[in-house]
Structure 1
Amino acid sequence: MQQQWQHFLSEQGAIINDGCVKRFNSPETEIKNSTAATILADLSHYRLFRVSGADANSFLQGQLSNDINHVTENQAQMSAYCSPKGRALALFRVFHFDNAYFLSLPDEIAETTMKRLNMFIMRSDVTMDDVTNDYFHFGIAGKDAAAKLKAALNLAELPDETDASIIANGLCLQKLAGTPDRFELIGSSDGATTMWNALQPSCVPVGESAWSLQRINAGIPEILTNSVETFVPQMLNLQLINTINFQKGCYPGQEIVARTKYLGKLKKRLYLAEVPTANPIEIGTDIYQSGDNLQSVGKIVLASANSSETTRVLVVLQIAAAEKQSLFLAEKDGPTLKILAMPYDLDE
């Protein structure tokens, strides 16, 4: 995070740690605001990489799980980067802006992920630049988010379908999955304070946890340090949220991903659940089921408190265990998981 931008946010009341806005208000207030208000979040805990060059399209097409040919100024997408064994190394948000492709991913895995991706450029005409400090990156969510964005940006129309994107007034605006509406806004860092000041009067600023809660409620997973190379894409429901294209050509892990779809039977998948604790839950924490055979039946993928007494989680579980329930966090006698309905259909 740029020092000038960090200073500005601190003056607005932000509590910042390691370049990430943790919160603006008490944890209890942030949780309430995340569900009751239109929220505005600084997304500096994500890094932005610009991918350009004559071979940028073919390079990304050969590395990622989705079809890069569908990415235009009017269409963004999510895409997975996998190991040769078909395990997800990272999930990118991919979009086209300023005459180049952009990749967005969490800061905590960005350095190792992009170093690995760079290894495969070789003689291709591709340049990948970390442009995080050249752009602001905001998240806006809430039932009135669309109306407030229209007013602040002076736009007649906004993208109205998941992953739809528009370029206007030097800004890139994308609609994300989930209800209430969620958007990401990217623009030149020179205009960061002006844009924040334009949005802030009609929005409530929040930190990373409140924004993550919106993602969890939308059923959209994320790969973080403790979950790198842990799950095949289908375990994360990526085939259900337009993150895998089964008609495109080869990419690392493609054979495993395709075999899982056409020849295998999925034994694990992603679920939304609630745990009766507001204590922090680490990514990768094991889930157990009641019974004599104490073995892990799943792992936490994302977690964020949604009240002073409960935490919402995305968790990969054995399907058979999820159907039987009686699930516990971290140990046999730990807090009980209550499985909730996903906001999208789990039938393929």
Structure 2
Amino acid sequence: MQVTLNDRALLKISGSDSELFLQNQLSNDISKLDNSSAQLNAYCQHQGKIIALFWVMRYEGSLLLSFPIDLVEKIHSRLQMFVIMSDVVIQDVSNEFCQIGLINETNENAFNIKDQLSVLLKKDNNVAAVIDAESIDIWHKACIDSLLPEIYLLTSEKLVPQMLNLDINEFGVNFSKGCYPGQEVVARLHYLGSAKRRLFAFQSSLEINIGDLLYCPSSKSAQARGARYKSSGIVIFRIKYNSNFYCLATLDVELKDAKITLNNEQGLTLTRIKK
């Protein structure tokens, strides 16, 4: 199945220093990126919290960054700050390409992201590949099924990579590459042991929104922190699909089998989708 991803921006990073530039900014090892994959990378601030998640792709001698369009101004201006004297050119090429998500479909020109998900780039942004208005929800549902996270403006700078499972099998974080912003914090959390908060999928018959907080009445740590700090996680990605709501949310690992409600003790109950 093909779905036009018209909710994503695309930045082109070119110039002789472009690869070194991104290697010094992002969490994964750019040198290991081949020509048929979209590599997941976290772009972190100095405290290790994720500003954005990128699908990084090699394309005609340049590197492309794909991410949710509501972050484009923030990301473009921030990356530009670090160019300084490097031979790096950053261009917003969102309107020059059509990004097409492929689900369970093979294409020799597509970039594989995860599981049966890949992205195809067409230079003509007017490509008639859109099936209907609901098709992008099918893509988002497939992303939730694959535990493929997103960061939007609302959740930017709130989570560290481990909370989104990016450290598992080094899917989005490489722990042997050189430094990048927040690297010391991310590495310290990794070597201290297993993460206390992870990414899980949930569903509900009632509405869920990005930024909603997860609450667990039985959480001893939440009770000890007091009413102001009771949340045990946050919704980072959601869709409505076939009359139900589905989401990806962070949650304290110790609470994964507990009763979880949304926003407060009287909130709707979330059902965890077990993988």
Q: State the TM-score, normalized to the length of structure 1.
A: 0.72
Residue in 2 that maps onto 1:232: 160
Letter in 1 for 2:254: A
Separation (CA, whole Å) in 1 of partners of 2:245 and 2:69: 23
Map of 1:40-189 to 2, 5 A cutoff?
A: 40-142=2-104, 145-146=105-106, 158=107, 166=108, 172-178=109-115, 181-189=116-124
Match of 2:99, SS state, is strand
- How many percent identity over aligned positions? 32
C-alpha distance in structure 2 between counterparts of 1:51 and 1:249, whole Å: 20
- Name the CA distance, whole Å, in 2 between partners of 1:265 and 1:214: 27
Whether 1:338 and 2:271 are equivalent positions in the alignment is: yes
> For residues 294-318 of structure 1, what are the alpha-carbon distances to aligned partners after superposition, in whole Å with 9 as ceiling and x for unaligned?
511111111112332x311111011
1:104 Cα deviation after fit = 0.5
Corresponding residue SS for 1:132: coil
Most deviating of 53-62 and 287-296 = 287-296
SS at match of 1:303: strand
After superposition, the C-alpha distances for 1:150-183 in whole angstroms (9 at most, x for unaligned) are: xxxxxxxx4xxxxxxx5xxxxx4122323xx322
Gaps of 5+ in 2: none
* Aligned AA (2:66): S
For residues 214-257 of structure 1, give each alpha carbon's deviation from its aligned partner in whole angstroms, at most 9, with x where no partner exists.
Answer: 11111011000111011110011011261111110000000001
Alpha-carbon shift at residue 204 of structure 1 (Å): 6.8
1:78 Cα deviation after fit: 0.7
Are 1:276 and 1:335, in contact at CA under 8 Å, matched by a contact in 2? no
Deviations 1:113-141 (A, max 9, x none): 12111100000000011111111111122
Q: 2:215 aligns with which of 288, 293, 296?
A: 288
Per-residue CA deviation, residues 33-65 of structure 1 (Å, 9 max, x unaligned), is xxxxx3x32112111111110100110000000
Q: Output the CA distance in 2 between the equivalents of 1:216 and 1:275.
A: 14
AA aligned opposite 1:258? A
Matched residue SS, 1:192: coil
- 1:213 is displaced (CA, Å) by 1.4
Which structure: larger Rg?
Answer: 1
1:192 aligns with 2:119: no
Conservation of the 8 A alpha-carbon contact between 2:36 and 2:110: no
Aligned length: 266
Q: Secondary structure at the match of 1:111?
A: helix
- 1:276–1:336 Cα contact (<8 Å) kept: no
Contact map agreement 1:210 1:304 (CA 8 A) in 2? no
- Equivalent-residue separation in structure 2 for 1:54 and 1:115 (angstroms): 20
Gapped runs of 5+ residues in structure 1? 1-37, 147-157, 159-165, 167-171, 343-348
State how far apart, in whole Å, the 1-side matches of 2:134 and 2:240 are: 14
Higher percent of residues as helix: 1
Q: Could you tell me how far apart the structure 2 residues matched to 1:140 and 1:313 are?
A: 20
The one-letter code of the counterpart of 1:248 is K
TM-score normalised by structure 2 residue count: 0.90
RMSD: 2.0
Offset of residue 327 of structure 1: 0.8
Cα contact 2:36–2:112 (8 A) shared by 1: no
- Report matched runs for 1:11-30 at 5 Å: none
Q: 1:267 aligns with which of 171, 183, 196?
A: 196
